[in-house]
Structure 1
Amino acid sequence: MKASDHISGLLALSREHAAACLAAEFEASDDRMTAADGAGRYVVSGAVAVVPLRGIITPNNAILEKYLGWTTSHGLAETMETLSSDRSVAAIVVESDSPGGVVLGGEAAVQAVSMAAKVKPVHALVNPLSASLAYWIASQATDIAMTPGSLVGSIGAMFSAPSPVQPGVSGDQWFDMRSSHAVGKNADPADETGAALIQARLDDIEARFHRDVSAGRGIDLADLPTRLSADTDPTHGGGVFETAQAVERGLVDQVETRSAFYQRIMAAYAPKSKPTSRALSATAKARAATLIAG
């Protein structure tokens, strides 16, 4: 079974960096086609929960999640909701290694990370890729770090679809006919009207993508297209950026090794040691002395 067989529709995906994922093959058996349970989607170390953002993101594809360990938007949204309400979890880490994925359902994950970050710190780590939908999600974190050599960006949406141009191998020519008020149903990109309708949908998705990145990263919305452009033309966005450019453009906050990142995060949320009885006694005496002196 090929992973590419399960990926379709409007995409927020860096196809260049998704090639290896799309080519992935695996064998599936019926007895294992259930989605991962909540506990299998994250690990907790001390007071920090670590959530992987991995592979090509789909809305709820249990097969890709089970066999390849890829993130689903629904699963990530459920995980963030669970961890937000867990009082034993002081902070959440989202570690990204993803070229993006399917737009359908993706904004549920985006909003879930945004909501979680309002409850407790959410730290994103790009290691080594956070492109398109994956970056859309990561942009809602409290802050973003990336490891040396990593890539972020590919902000925008795309659509790929075939259009019949000649009879197939069976000798038959297939046609798509639509009812009078459903020209936008399965719009043909080779048709002028269909192309315009698809373009409008893509532009609407991009507008929401830009809006969320602007809010999450604190970048002025009007300035964002220029920051994402490879040159001075604001329409030349959609590319990915290495560490120095990503920091300069405000897409991430800092660059550090994975080891340094986790040392910093774990230290920040390490449980505070309780004072010993001797220390408590000394504190009590000091307070008493203060009261007497007063």
Structure 2
Amino acid sequence: MKGIWEIIKAIGKFIQGTGTFALGTLVLLLLVFALAGSQRSSELKAGVSVPKGAVLLLNPRGNIVELKQEVSPFDIALTEFSNAPVETSIHDILKAIHNAKNDKRIGAIALYTDSMGGAGIAHLHDIVDALKDFKTTDKPVYAISSSYSQGDYLIASQADQIFMNKAGSALLTGYNANLTYFKGMLDKVGVTVNIFHVGDYKSAIEPYERTSMSDEARASYEFLFNGLWNDYLSVISEARGMDKAALQQHLDQFPEEFKTVKGNFAEYALKTRLVDTLASRVDYRNVLADKHGQSGDTFKQISMQNYLRATKDWNSSSSSNEIPVLIAQGNIVGGYGNVTVVAAETVARDIRRLRKDENTKAIVLRVNSPGGSAYASEIIRQELVAAQAQGIPVVVSMGPVAASGGYWISAEADEIWASPTTITGSIGIFGMIPTFEKVTSEIGISSDSVGTSKWMKGMGIADPLNEAYSSVISANIQNGYDEFLDLVARGRNMTKETVHEIAQGRVWTGRQALENGLVDKLGTLDDAINAAAKLADIENYNSYIVKDAPDEFDEMLKQLLRRNSDTNAPKINPAQKVLKAFKKEFEFLSLFNDPQGRYILCTGCGVQE
């Protein structure tokens, strides 16, 4: 290797001498990638070694998602200058924990949360359940962080020992919704938003017609959050051996109790038994090294990424029977798209390909979506029905959110599985049409029209929405709501009247949805896959997540560039958080591309930690 780096240095000097910096830098990068890639390729062929008695490092980086976005190796190399997303798949985390449970080479799990971003509540509970299952083998779990957010702490609570830095904090604030309302701004700039909706609880449109939350929306959120918070406290109190009522009392009295520790967050966390040990990095490394063995200047360990590579062929079957898991994550939109949205044409294409494959014996649709375009949702539903018509069972597994359009595409599945903390329901529909007659009048712009349809008269940029066209939209929205009710009634074997009682845009937790009949059972993705196998009447099969096949060379470069970057994803600072919130609002508006202007969307369902 010394000779190789001498060659690279020589090329670098040549580049400096000739002055062709940009071209030379590119050549140098390609050479480094090629040489290092060759070395990495040899390492991969040799396989990943799992040290006996090693501690498995679970270090989620960025947001926890169903399916990660594809990122080019050059974006990874230039992370500081690119907007390359940093994400971790929930299924990678769960697979690593599951494999480690019965792997005699793994002696413990160490959970690092410093680099973890946002996560859906159901995803966090999935990790909690997986850690509980791991601990049945009497292998210890350690939680290590400089500070714990509320979401971090839910999974950290399962640890046998929780370490926190003396300069850190662990603060539980409960669930809340802070919504942004635009009506005041729209009024000031002279924009009229014409809104059409059915149901008392469709809060998606409130930011455009109100300046504050309606009583119905507030009641719906309170009902939802109380259910989710009760589950959260139950997990924490059971894991930490606390009384749930006493824990809630501590949280309610936080401002007063905080004064007793002189404003020290770490001491408060220790006093209230949220953490076990205040320790520096050197301290916890020494503790784990004493218990699990030394490796260099730290304890014996293996990263989650390396462990997954070492166990990638576990649990595979020689059977040709397949149960593919199709991920539907993000807002539902028309056209084609990447994994950040449920693009109707992309998903429909994947379903068609799967149902034409003779090895496909059942399809599991994994839904993590608040909905979106009604038309796009219907395109996806029709393809799923076509698969069922061929005798292929369709089972839905709901992730953190499966509401509005997310429920539309789920309703007629042979079975629906949800997490207890899934947010679902929101059976309603709305439409929005902005008009600009006020602002155009102020600046002297007017419209006039001529045509063959009287009811389309007055549709210029400076005209208000006329009554005739408004009545057409209203009728169409009512028709869409009736279609939604009929769909759910048919899929869930209910009367239309019964569906209406639990619909009207209202949201429910998975546990509540089980009680009112919107889902069949509570369980994990694995439970849904097993249910699909039973419906297909097969015992031996392979299950896999549907995604585009990666380029082998790209994957090699990614592994090379990420091998030393496991802890390089700091949490988002407050300023970035505000900017991202505004960016998200404007990106949300750009998703309104339904050809009929009808949307089945729950904007307040994406509760994340």
TM-score by length of 1: 0.65
Q: Give the deviation of 1:88 after TM superposition.
A: 0.5
Q: Give the deviation of 1:244 after TM superposition.
A: 2.5
Q: Give the deviation of 1:260 after TM superposition.
A: 4.3
SS at match of 2:488: helix
- Offset from partner CA, 1:136-169 (integer Å, 9 cap, x none): 1111211101113111111121111212242349
SS at match of 1:209: helix
Choose from 430, 442, 445 the match for 1:158: 430
SS at match of 1:160: strand
Choose from 194, 202, 207 the match for 2:477: 202
Given that 1:152 and 1:240 are in contact with CA atoms closer than 8 Å, whether structure 2 keeps it comes out as yes
* Equivalent residue, structure 2, for 1:97: 368
* Equivalent residue, structure 2, for 1:81: 352
Given that 1:161 and 1:189 are in contact with CA atoms closer than 8 Å, whether structure 2 keeps it comes out as no
Choose from 522, 526, 531 the match for 1:255: 522
Given that 1:10 and 1:103 are in contact with CA atoms closer than 8 Å, whether structure 2 keeps it comes out as no
Distance 1:134 1:178 in 2: 42
- Which range moved further: 263-272 or 205-214? 263-272
SS at match of 1:166: helix
The aligned amino acid for 2:356 is S
Choose from 464, 488, 508 the match for 1:241: 508
SS at match of 1:271: coil
Distance 1:99 1:181 in 2: 37
* Equivalent residue, structure 1, for 2:405: 133
SS at match of 2:409: helix
* Change in CA separation of 1:176 and 1:132 when aligned onto 2, cut-off 3 Å: farther
Q: Give the deviation of 1:81 after TM superposition.
A: 2.3
Given that 2:417 and 2:524 are in contact with CA atoms closer than 8 Å, whether structure 1 keeps it comes out as no
* Change in CA separation of 1:176 and 1:99 when aligned onto 2, cut-off 3 Å: farther
Distance 1:225 1:266 in 2: 33
Choose from 218, 223, 237 the match for 2:498: 223
The aligned amino acid for 1:84 is R
The aligned amino acid for 1:251 is L
* Change in CA separation of 1:149 and 1:194 when aligned onto 2, cut-off 3 Å: same
**In the TM superposition, what are the counterparts of 1:1-294 in structure 2 within 5 Å?**
16=204, 47-60=322-335, 62=336, 65-66=337-338, 69-118=340-389, 119-168=391-440, 171-175=443-447, 177=449, 179-181=451-453, 183=455, 190-228=465-503, 237-262=504-529, 269-271=538-540
Q: Give the deviation of 1:222 after TM superposition.
A: 3.4
- Offset from partner CA, 1:187-225 (integer Å, 9 cap, x none): 988543333221101011112222221111111223321
Given that 1:151 and 1:242 are in contact with CA atoms closer than 8 Å, whether structure 2 keeps it comes out as yes
Given that 2:395 and 2:531 are in contact with CA atoms closer than 8 Å, whether structure 1 keeps it comes out as no
* Change in CA separation of 1:191 and 1:247 when aligned onto 2, cut-off 3 Å: same
Q: Give the deviation of 1:54 after TM superposition.
A: 1.4
TM-score by length of 2: 0.33
Distance 1:114 1:213 in 2: 14
SS at match of 2:365: strand
Distance 2:420 2:355 in 1: 30
Q: Give the deviation of 1:107 after TM superposition.
A: 1.7
CA RMSD in angstroms, aligned pairs only: 3.6
Given that 2:366 and 2:525 are in contact with CA atoms closer than 8 Å, whether structure 1 keeps it comes out as no
SS at match of 1:125: strand
The aligned amino acid for 1:96 is V
* Change in CA separation of 1:250 and 1:195 when aligned onto 2, cut-off 3 Å: same
Q: Normalized per residue, which structure has more helix?
A: 2
Given that 2:363 and 2:532 are in contact with CA atoms closer than 8 Å, whether structure 1 keeps it comes out as no
* Change in CA separation of 1:241 and 1:108 when aligned onto 2, cut-off 3 Å: same
Given that 1:47 and 1:269 are in contact with CA atoms closer than 8 Å, whether structure 2 keeps it comes out as no
SS at match of 1:110: helix
* Change in CA separation of 1:112 and 1:241 when aligned onto 2, cut-off 3 Å: same
Question: Larger relative contact order (C-alpha < 8 A, sep ≥ 6)?
Answer: 2
Q: Give the deviation of 1:259 after TM superposition.
A: 4.7
The aligned amino acid for 1:129 is V
- Offset from partner CA, 1:168-191 (integer Å, 9 cap, x none): 499243547463425258698854
Give the paired residue count: 227
* Change in CA separation of 1:114 and 1:266 when aligned onto 2, cut-off 3 Å: closer
Alignment gaps of 5+ in structure 1:
2-8, 20-43, 229-236, 273-294
Q: Which has the larger radius of gyration?
A: 2
Identity value in percent? 24
* Equivalent residue, structure 2, for 1:34: none
SS at match of 2:331: strand
* Change in CA separation of 1:165 and 1:148 when aligned onto 2, cut-off 3 Å: same
SS at match of 1:50: strand
Given that 1:10 and 1:102 are in contact with CA atoms closer than 8 Å, whether structure 2 keeps it comes out as no
* Change in CA separation of 1:210 and 1:171 when aligned onto 2, cut-off 3 Å: same
* Equivalent residue, structure 2, for 1:289: none
The aligned amino acid for 1:83 is L
